[in-house]
Amino acid sequence: MKNTTTITRERSTTNENTALELNKVGVHAVTISSAIIGCWAVACLASGVISSGGPAGLVSNFISAFTG
Protein backbone atom coordinates (compact mmCIF):
# COMPACT_ATOMS: atom_id res chain seq x y z
CA MET A 1 0.00 0.00 0.00
CA LYS A 2 1.34 3.37 -0.97
CA ASN A 3 0.69 6.33 1.34
CA THR A 4 0.87 9.79 -0.14
CA THR A 5 0.57 12.92 1.85
CA THR A 6 -0.57 16.06 0.16
CA ILE A 7 0.58 19.29 1.71
CA THR A 8 -1.45 22.29 0.75
CA ARG A 9 -0.27 25.82 1.22
CA GLU A 10 -2.84 28.54 1.66
CA ARG A 11 -2.01 32.18 1.45
CA SER A 12 -3.69 34.50 3.82
CA THR A 13 -5.13 37.17 1.60
CA THR A 14 -6.52 39.02 4.60
CA ASN A 15 -3.05 39.97 5.85
CA GLU A 16 -1.94 41.00 2.38
CA ASN A 17 -5.04 43.11 1.82
CA THR A 18 -4.63 44.79 5.19
CA ALA A 19 -1.00 45.65 4.47
CA LEU A 20 -1.95 47.01 1.04
CA GLU A 21 -4.69 49.19 2.49
CA LEU A 22 -2.36 50.51 5.20
CA ASN A 23 0.19 51.41 2.52
CA LYS A 24 -2.48 53.27 0.58
CA VAL A 25 -3.49 55.21 3.69
CA GLY A 26 0.14 56.10 4.33
CA VAL A 27 0.66 57.35 0.79
CA HIS A 28 -2.51 59.44 0.96
CA ALA A 29 -1.49 60.92 4.32
CA VAL A 30 1.92 61.96 2.97
CA THR A 31 0.32 63.42 -0.17
CA ILE A 32 -2.20 65.47 1.78
CA SER A 33 0.47 66.67 4.23
CA SER A 34 2.79 67.79 1.45
CA ALA A 35 -0.07 69.58 -0.31
CA ILE A 36 -0.92 71.47 2.88
CA ILE A 37 2.73 72.41 3.43
CA GLY A 38 3.00 73.59 -0.19
CA CYS A 39 -0.10 75.76 0.15
CA TRP A 40 1.31 77.23 3.38
CA ALA A 41 4.61 78.03 1.63
CA VAL A 42 2.84 79.78 -1.26
CA ALA A 43 0.73 81.79 1.19
CA CYS A 44 3.85 82.85 3.12
CA LEU A 45 5.64 83.87 -0.07
CA ALA A 46 2.63 85.86 -1.26
CA SER A 47 2.32 87.67 2.07
CA GLY A 48 6.04 88.44 1.98
CA VAL A 49 5.72 89.94 -1.51
CA ILE A 50 2.74 92.03 -0.41
CA SER A 51 4.32 93.30 2.81
CA SER A 52 7.63 94.22 1.17
CA GLY A 53 6.07 96.15 -1.68
CA GLY A 54 6.51 93.78 -4.59
CA PRO A 55 8.95 91.20 -5.88
CA ALA A 56 11.84 93.66 -6.16
CA GLY A 57 11.31 94.77 -2.58
CA LEU A 58 11.20 91.15 -1.44
CA VAL A 59 14.53 90.39 -3.11
CA SER A 60 16.21 93.52 -1.75
CA ASN A 61 14.90 92.83 1.76
CA PHE A 62 16.07 89.25 1.48
CA ILE A 63 19.58 90.34 0.48
CA SER A 64 19.71 92.99 3.20
CA ALA A 65 18.68 90.37 5.78
CA PHE A 66 21.80 88.37 4.96
CA THR A 67 24.22 91.29 4.67
CA GLY A 68 22.94 93.12 7.70
pLDDT tens digits, residue range 1-49?
Answer: 566 666 655 555 666 777 888 899 999 999 999 999 999 999 999 999 9
Structural domains in the chain (count): 1
Integer angstrom CA distances of residue 12 from 1, 9, 21, 22: 35, 10, 15, 16
User: What pLDDT, on the 0 to 100 scale, is given for residue 1?
Assistant: 57
Domain interval for residue 9: 3-67
The Cα 64–Cα 32 span in angstroms is 35
Question: For the residues 56-68, what does the mean pLDDT come to?
Answer: 92
User: What pLDDT, on the 0 to 100 scale, is given for residue 13?
Assistant: 60
Q: Is the pLDDT assigned to residue 58 strictly greater than 80?
A: yes
